Amino acid sequence: MQLYGLKNCDTCRAARKALPEAEFVDVRESPLDRSILESALERFGDALVNRSSTTWRGLSEDARARPPLDLLADHPTLMKRPLIVEGDRMLLGWTAATRADLGV
C-alpha cells in the first residue's frame, strides 16, 4: 500500500499513524507517476484537485483553466490528500468512509 501526500500535512500524518505499514511518498520530493495520476483522475475526476489549497489560490485564472492532469503534474501540492493506492484500489482523502473501507 502506498500513501501519497505531504509530510507536513496534518491529514497525511493522521493517515500515516493509522497505516504504519503503508509506504509513504511525499509528492513534493517524488511526484506521482503519470500513470497513477491518470488513474486517479479517471476515478475521482475534479475531486482530485484541491481547490481550497493555498497553491490553488496562488494560481492565475489562466493556470487554473489548464487540464487537471497538467496542473497536478506541475503542482503536485494541488492534489487532495492523501491518495491511498493498493493494487487497483484507490482511496482519496482521510474521511470516515476511507477509514471504514480500510478497517481503521
- Residues 28-74 have pLDDT tens digits of 999 889 999 999 999 999 899 999 988 999 999 999 999 999 999 99
CB 73 within 8 A of CB 31: yes
Is residue 9 among the annotated active site residues?
A: yes
Q: Where are the alpha helices (DSSP H) in 1-104?
A: 10-18, 34-44, 54-57, 61-64, 68-74, 96-102
The catalytic position among 1, 9, 69, 102 is 9
Instruction: Sketch out the chain's domains with CATH numbers.
Output: 2-102 (3.40.30.10)
* pTM reported for the whole predicted model: 0.90
Would you place residue 82 in the very low, low, confident or very high pLDDT band (cuts 50, 70, 90)? very high
